[in-house]
Every structure is written in structure tokens, then in C-alpha cells.
Amino acid sequence: MSVGIRHDDLRRRNRAMVISAVRRASQPSRTEIAATTGLSHSTISTISSDLIAEGILAEAKSNEPVSMKRGRPQVALTLEPRAASVVAVVLSLNSLSAAIIDYAGNTVVEETTRLVTEHMSGEALTDECVAMIRRLTESDDAAGGTVLRIAMAVQGITDAASRKLLWSPITRHDDIPFADRLEQEFGVPVTVENDCNMIAEALRWRDPSRYRDDFIAILLSHGIGMGLVIKGELFTGTQSSGAEFGHMIHRPDGALCRCGRRGCIEAYAGNYAIWRNARLGDENAEPLADLSDDDIRSLADAARDHDGPEREAFRKAGEAIGFGLGSMFALFDPAPLAFVGVGATAFDLMEPHVRAAIAKTAGGLHSKAISFDTEPNEVPLKREGAMMRALLHVDQEIFAAGSAPRRADADVA
């Protein structure tokens, strides 16, 4: 049962609200914050002056947009960049990247490397992460606030506690405890989360008007991933990161999936599946290990150019996605969709079939009204999502709790 509310929780929650209001709005004044939170002006005044004294917020002195209004001008509040920093790590098939980000969300340093993840053990992968983070934190550019949190976005299934990678297509090894090792190395809390969930988180911040309480991000790539936001919350499994759209069953005992099972949506709509259908015409052929983005683009060009197996392969992919979405919509009603990744460049070939399939399902009543959007480049989204996760945690768990000031140089102000 959830625990009672103590008196000091109250302050903590209201501090959290103020911080979150500042992060969300561009540069709100105290008055605006009072309006959005519903708290009184006096409370907001007290809390924000505390936060400024602690070096978490700052008054934006710089630009004068010349209010042109009578009365005392509003003072815009901002996040103090030096209040803290976080590290966002993105680990994907054959690629690792990391960045240090300041408290205001600006990237301070970053690095990206190619590595052959398929042939690496869990330990080797962790070592690479440790080494890269260490290079970044020790680089000269990494001045500013102390690192208070590290967030990883990885391809694959993570556990519900965000501590380890349970299974991933990028390596043959299971149960890689990234969080434990990284916490040990760097002495700050670490989370490991599924990359598609991070994509969803990022979309929320990129375009809050479109992606707010309910939406679906689908990653069309070698495999098929999904990040799901329902009722304003990231939807995860009870034990794992969940939302494995790609492994919902499209056709019982159907095409051979990379996961070894049969009939998964991914076995029709993953890059390898589209290539297999177009080039081999054999649903049971062993999935290819890797496939370049160009391979997919040329399949798409061929499909656009003339009728043939390529076009049919994209049709099957669209159909699988559409029926899968229809099944999901039976559970929680239709929601706006974002298709992310290379596959999004070929989405024009799939869209009519996606819609046609949805129309045959319970969600079909509104099939035409469902909004589709595409974003070919998933890499920045993954990083932004991991960054936001880390920053929000600092906001809510560390700074909202108060106590000591965190800024490296709190006495400057």
C-alpha cells in the first residue's frame, strides 16, 4: 500500500513542481509558475528563492524582450547550467556513443565509436562504456557541474528496475549488469533502459503538442521496437522494459523470426524480413545478421519503380504492422504514431497497407484519423531521451529533496 504523506514530502513535491515547470516552459516567471502549478505567489516566491540560493535555478538577466507592458517586468527563471551534469550513453548494434550534458540540457562533450558488438562479451561492452565515459569526464571541456547521473539507452530488453540488459540483438550474451558496474566505477546512480522507450521520451520533449499523453513510437530498423506512452506515462513491462511490439504474433506458426520463434511482426516487417521476402521469397530462410541502410533504400527504390517482389515485401510489412497496431488498439484505443528509423524512409510504401489492415480491426473505426509521422534518424532521439531521463531524475529525486547545494561554485552568485 502506498505510504502516507508526511509534512516534509509536501515541500519536496512542490519544489519538484517548480523545477519541472521551469524545465518545461521556456523561461517562465514566478507568476507563470504560480498559475500553472496552482500554488500561491508567496509559496512560489519562497521556493524559487531557495532554489536560486542553492544554485539550481537562476534569473535570466540577459535578453530583454522589452515587455512593452506596464508594471514591474517579469523575471524569467532558467535552469542553472552548472547546477549539475549528466551522462547519456547510447549503445546500439556496432555503435557506442556518449555525451556529457549540463543541467540546462546543452551538450558539453560527446564521442561516438564503431565497435563490433556482436563479437563482444558483456564485460567487454561494459569496459568500452566505462572507458568512453571516463575519457569524457576527464576531458578539459567537461567543466561545469558534477555528474549526478548516467542514463543508458540500449537496444534490447532491459529489466524493469533499469539495472541490466536482459537480452539484446547486439550480442549473444545475456544479463549484462551495466548499471551495477557503472555505479561502482563512477559512484553515481545509473539506469539502463530500452532505446525505443527513450525515443518516446524524446518525442515528448521535441513536440509536446503532438506527443503528450498517448502516443506510440515505432522503430523500423533491423528489428522492430516500440516506445509507448499511455496516459502520460511510459508503458513498460512488469518485469522487463516490455512493449515488444515486434514480437507480438502476426501469424501463428508463420515466418521465422530472428528471435527463433515464428510469426512475430518483426519476421514480416524488420529490415531482414523485408529483404528476405524481396530477394529470397522464403519466409523460413535464416535471418541475415546485418543489412545496411542502403540495402533498404534500394529495395524501396525498386518497389517504387515497378511492381514485383520488393513491393510485395513492403506490403507484407505494412500489413503486419497494421494488424499488430489493430490488436494493440483493441487494448487501449488508437493513438498518434511516429515511425522512426531507416524504415521510415520507406514508409510511403507501407502506409496504405498499414491503414488497410487497421481498418479490418477493432481500431478500424478511426483508421483514417490516426496520425502517422516519420523521422528517419533515430540516433539523436535516443540520446535526447536518455538525457531527459537523467535530467528529470536529478530534478525530481535529487534537487527536489533539497538539503545541500550541488553547484561546483555555489558562492559565485
Binding site for DNA (CB under 7 A): 4-8, 10-11, 14, 29-31, 38-43, 45-49, 66-75
Cα separations in angstroms, 279 against 283, 296, 304, 343, 349: 11, 12, 16, 17, 17
Nearest residue to 19 (alpha-carbon basis) of 403, 401, 404: 401
The smaller minimum CB distance to its own copies, of residues 14 and 374, is found at 14
Q: Residue holding cell 547546477?
A: 83
Q: Grid coordinates standing for 73?
A: 517586468
The smaller minimum CB distance to DNA, of residues 73 and 352, is found at 73
The smaller minimum CB distance to DNA, of residues 30 and 276, is found at 30
- What CA–CA distance (Å, rounded) separates 173 from 170? 9
The smaller minimum CB distance to its own copies, of residues 248 and 388, is found at 248
- What CA–CA distance (Å, rounded) separates 254 from 250? 8
Choose the contact partner of 345 out of its own copies, DNA, none; CB within 5 to 8 A by kind.
none
Choose the contact partner of 371 out of its own copies, DNA, none; CB within 5 to 8 A by kind.
none
Choose the contact partner of 138 out of DNA, its own copies, none; CB within 5 to 8 A by kind.
none
* Member of 60, 188, 259, 408 binding its own copies (CB under 8 A): 259
- What CA–CA distance (Å, rounded) separates 205 from 215? 13
On whether the CB atoms of residues 31 and 41 are closer than 8 A, the answer is yes
Among the candidate windows 111-119, 223-231, 303-311, 374-382, which touches its own copies by CB under 8 A?
223-231
Among the candidate windows 89-97, 174-182, 332-340, 376-384, which touches its own copies by CB under 8 A?
332-340
Provide the minimum distance between the beta carbon of 141 and its own copies in the complex, in angstroms, as a whole number.
35
Name every residue whose Cβ is closer than 8 Å to that of residue 55 and which is 6 or more positions away in sequence. 80, 82, 83, 405, 406, 407, 410, 413
Choose the contact partner of 127 out of DNA, its own copies, none; CB within 5 to 8 A by kind.
none
Choose the contact partner of 99 out of DNA, its own copies, none; CB within 5 to 8 A by kind.
none
134 touching its own copies, by CB under 8 A: no
On whether the CB atoms of residues 107 and 101 are closer than 8 A, the answer is yes
On whether the CB atoms of residues 116 and 95 are closer than 8 A, the answer is no
109 touching its own copies, by CB under 8 A: no
Strand-pairing partners, residue 222, are: none
Provide the minimum distance between the beta carbon of 189 and DNA in the complex, in angstroms, as a whole number.
24
Ranges within 20-49 binding its own copies (CB under 8 A)? 20-21, 24, 36-39, 43
In degrees rounded to 5, what are phi and psi of residue 58? -150, 155
DSSP assignment string, 140-197: TT--SSPEEEEEEEESSEEBTTS--EEE-TT-S---B-HHHHHHHHHSS-EEEEEHHH
Ranges within 362-381 binding its own copies (CB under 8 A)? 362, 364
Provide the minimum distance between the beta carbon of 34 and its own copies in the complex, in angstroms, as a whole number.
9
355 touching its own copies, by CB under 8 A: no
The smaller minimum CB distance to DNA, of residues 71 and 232, is found at 71
7 touching its own copies, by CB under 8 A: yes
Choose the contact partner of 49 out of DNA, its own copies, none; CB within 5 to 8 A by kind.
DNA
Q: Which of helix, strand or coil describes residue 219?
A: strand
Q: Which of helix, strand or coil describes residue 375?
A: strand
Provide the minimum distance between the beta carbon of 212 and its own copies in the complex, in angstroms, as a whole number.
10
- What CA–CA distance (Å, rounded) separates 97 from 114? 9
Choose the contact partner of 62 out of its own copies, DNA, none; CB within 5 to 8 A by kind.
none
Name every residue whose Cβ is closer than 8 Å to that of residue 151 and which is 6 or more positions away in sequence. 86, 87, 88, 89, 190, 191, 193, 198, 386, 387, 389, 390, 393
The smaller minimum CB distance to DNA, of residues 71 and 260, is found at 71
The smaller minimum CB distance to its own copies, of residues 63 and 238, is found at 238
Nearest residue to 281 (alpha-carbon basis) of 301, 257, 310, 304: 310
The site for its own copies (CB under 8 A) is made up of 1-7, 10, 13-14, 17, 20-21, 24, 36-39, 43, 213-214, 228, 230-231, 235-240, 242-245, 247-253, 259, 261-264, 319, 323, 326-328, 330-333, 335, 357, 360-362, 364
